[in-house]
Amino acid sequence: MIRKELLPIISNKKIAHESYELVLESEYISSTAVPGQFLHLSIRNHTLRRPLSIAAVDKKNHTVTLLYKLVGKGTEDLITYDTNEKIDVLGPGGKEFVIDDLTENDEVLLIGGGIGVPPLHFLAQKLSEKNVKMTMVLGFLSKEYLFYEKEFNELGHTIIATDDGSYGEKGRVTDVDLSQFNFKHYYSCGPLPMLKAVKEKYSHIDGFLSFEERFGCGVGACFACVIPTKDDAGYKKICQDGPVFSSKEVLI
């Protein structure tokens, strides 16, 4: 269930070019959130909240980690929050990446691009607990945008790709050749063009995609965030039915 909480900020620091890590304290969210879910942050002087995926939780220390990119007015103001402050948060929201049918030694693929990388880290944490075999392909604009490489390496086989080749493999995440693997599922999050390419390249695999859209309410009431689907309704709400959808249900 979504709760409205005023959360203490443990830290809010830069981790790469235009990229920041925000750690919040919340016993409720750290103990109930699942990979794929997001928090909806109220940033001072902004009419609308901003959605950010949960990148990690620490049940023992009751912390929740968010990773965000500086893209506009809201995130510009978010970086000004200090450790001693509190921030108003709605969450956890949305549906998770489906992993219950996975068992030990199943092979899965995680593909993330830019600000789509964060939710995959939380997912990788959970999958490693299940001892699922992961191959993770993470795409960044260039070396300076790279973050969390160490954290991902600790969780499994990680391949970094940069558009300009300044680090790791040069090119897009879908250019990486993984034909030797036999994946049961793929999990992907990133910009729409990337998600389309992934869905196309791995059309033979049951995959799960996490989408983004500009939110109004973030709880399913305003119809701001719909995405076309194959069912009779013809649409689903990203904030409530998503952000994660099966590759088979969405029309993109």
Ligand X SMILES: Cc1cc2nc3c(=O)[nH]c(=O)nc-3n(C[C@H](O)[C@H](O)[C@H](O)COP(=O)(O)O)c2cc1C
Binding-site ranges for ligand X (CB under 6 A): 216, 222
- The token pair at 14 is 């830069």
Q: Report what 205 binds from ligand X, ligand FES, another protein, none; CB cut-off 5-8 Å by kind.
A: none
Spatial separation of the C-alpha atoms in residues 108 and 40, rounded to whole Å: 29
- The token pair at 151 is 């954290």
Closest of 233, 219, 248 to residue 40, by C-alpha: 219
User: In the range 204-233, which residues lie near ligand FAD by CB under 6 A?
Assistant: 212-215
6 binds another protein (CB under 8 A): no
Spatial separation of the C-alpha atoms in residues 243 and 43, rounded to whole Å: 21
Stretch of 9-17, 24-32, 41-49, 198-206 contacting another protein, by CB under 8 A: 41-49
CA triple 86-91-97, angle to 5 deg: 135
Stretch of 53-61, 158-166, 214-222, 243-251 contacting another protein, by CB under 8 A: 214-222
The residue (of 185 and 236) whose beta carbon lies closer to ligand X is 236
Beta bridge partners of 16: 19
Stretch of 99-107, 169-177, 185-193, 210-218 contacting ligand FES, by CB under 6 A: 210-218
Spatial separation of the C-alpha atoms in residues 233 and 199, rounded to whole Å: 22
Binding site for another protein (CB under 8 A): 1-2, 4, 42, 46-49, 73-74, 90, 213-227, 233-235, 240
